Amino acid sequence: MSTLQIPNEFQRSYEEFETYPRNIYNQNSYPGTLQAYANRLDGVASRLLNESDVLVPFRDLFPAGQVMPCYLDFLFVFGLSKNARELRFSGFREQLSLKTSASNPAIPSLGRSGCSFQLCYNLKGVARISTETPIEWSIRQVAIHHQFDVSEGTALWIVTKGDMEIKDRVKALTGKEGRAEDRAFDSPAQCLKSSLAVHLLNCSWSTEDWRWYIQHLEDAIDDETDIAIHGRRGHAEAARIYVPADLQTLQDYQDKINVTIMVLEANNDVLASLRDFYKTLLENSAFNLRDTCREDVTSFTKQVDEMIHDSSMQISRAKLLIRITTDRKDLILQHLQTQTTQRMEDLTTSMQNIGIGSQKEAIIMRIITAVTLIYLPGTFVSTLFSTNVIRFDNGKEDFSQAAMSRWMQVTFPLTVLTLIVAFIVFKLADKRRKRVLSAINDVEKGTIQSLQDQQVSVKS
């Protein structure tokens, strides 16, 4: 068996695969940048993947392909995470080397001419993950690394995604059921055309289903706010009672729309960069396929332009939805303020009725007190003389000390008991009064806090 003729630089780079990306010889990064990549890779490797479950660990694969280190930027967004802030990262990187050099030598035994280019980019798509009510959607992303040798026609694809969807699509594209021109690899020109088809597949994936996701958001916002616009708000008519949670729900939808706009604009920037790269490639005199593949590249750029235009239309639609949502949030806030005012009016009316009732009771009690004071002396005298304390018999007055003692023994305890009961009743009434006042204060504080929360929600 013949031995492969491999340059020493490449051999040394592969043997030091554990130090990736510091071992890459075909790179344009500074040593400090490579060390920062390596440190970051060591820190996140455990959450990216379990290397025992893969056939080729990526630290073996990347040096073999001399994958440019900046692809790690796209890998770092994957893995377990508590939030989706990494969705905000997008980018496009290129490395063009159409002439053999010391940093990019030819390795004929591996099908490498030294004239090649590398691309790294990521795209995001949306997918429905639940068909049951409520319908749930998820924004997914894919990171793509592509190398193409313009002389040999060899290509390398590294696709990072949370599932096998892109892999299955590529297999279908290049399989027996695919178009013949997409699975022809007899010449470098045919290989380039096939690679453009894979790019289009990735771009198409990133533009799918956004229309339906935005429509889902439109329907959800309509369901939440339709009654605020078309519902009856007249006096004594049934109406929805709004709470601050309704504003929170709308704010959540508005955040999702903003994320949608950000993702679509980022996708458009990546697609435009991909298109511009191949347009520029056609103008490069060192590109040996520019004449034979000009028509294919031009067709590719036109199709990418159509996808960009399609996404731009969805962006305009989403921006309009943002304005509609903001206006409806303001309307619901007005309804909340109206409800708060109505509650305050009802509370004022209730307090007025309580005051009027208390006033009537006070008048009645004054009348009873006045009548009691008039008749109290006579009542006391009559009661005393009706007992056996003082008796008039045959014109003689008879005073009984024993009867007087018994009368005092019964009357004084009953008087004390009556005063105790009256005191208890008074305390209970006072406690009830304080509870009513506390409830009124809580309502007032809650109303003020509700208004403040609504203002904060609107501002945010």
Q: Please tell me the predicted confidence (pLDDT) of residue 48.
A: 67
Q: Higher model confidence: residue 46 or residue 347? A: 347
Q: Please tell me the predicted confidence (pLDDT) of residue 62.
A: 66
Q: Please tell me the predicted confidence (pLDDT) of residue 134.
A: 75
Among the listed ranges 79-93, 193-207, 291-305, which one has the minimum average pLDDT value?
Answer: 79-93
Quick: pLDDT tens for 167-225.
999 999 988 888 888 888 889 999 999 999 999 999 999 999 999 999 999 999 998 88
User: Which of 6-15, 26-35, 192-201, 225-234 is most confident?
Assistant: 192-201
Residue 84 pLDDT exceeds 90: no
Q: Higher model confidence: residue 375 or residue 405? A: 405
Quick: pLDDT tens for 310-334.
999 999 999 999 999 998 888 888 8
- pTM of the predicted model as reported, rounded to 2 decimal places: 0.72
Q: Higher model confidence: residue 34 or residue 128? A: 128
Q: Please tell me the predicted confidence (pLDDT) of residue 317.
A: 96
Mean pLDDT, range 55-67, rounded to an integer: 60
Q: Which one, of 112, 111, 106, 152, lies nearest residue 7 by Cα?
A: 106
Q: Please tell me the predicted confidence (pLDDT) of residue 55.
A: 45
Average pLDDT, the chain: 81
> Percent of the chain having pLDDT more than 90?
31
Contact 286, 99 (CB under 8 A): yes
Residue 459 pLDDT exceeds 70: no
Quick: pLDDT tens for 104-163.
777 777 777 878 899 999 999 999 987 777 788 999 999 999 999 999 999 989 898 888
Residue 294 pLDDT exceeds 90: yes
Q: Please tell me the predicted confidence (pLDDT) of residue 56.
A: 46
Mean pLDDT, range 424-428, rounded to an integer: 86
Mean pLDDT, range 36-62, rounded to an integer: 65
Q: Please tell me the predicted confidence (pLDDT) of residue 448.
A: 58
Q: Higher model confidence: residue 404 or residue 238? A: 404
Residue 445 pLDDT exceeds 70: no
Mean pLDDT, range 350-360, rounded to an integer: 82
Band the pLDDT of 7: cuts 50, 70, 90.
low
Contact 149, 108 (CB under 8 A): no
Quick: pLDDT tens for 374-383.
766 667 666 7
Q: Higher model confidence: residue 25 or residue 154? A: 154
> Percent of the chain having pLDDT more than 70?
76
Band the pLDDT of 266: cuts 50, 70, 90.
very high
Q: Please tell me the predicted confidence (pLDDT) of residue 1.
A: 42
User: Which of 78-87, 161-170, 272-281 is most confident?
Assistant: 272-281
Residue 387 pLDDT exceeds 50: yes
Q: Higher model confidence: residue 184 or residue 397? A: 184
Residue 458 pLDDT exceeds 50: no
Mean pLDDT, range 418-430, rounded to an integer: 84
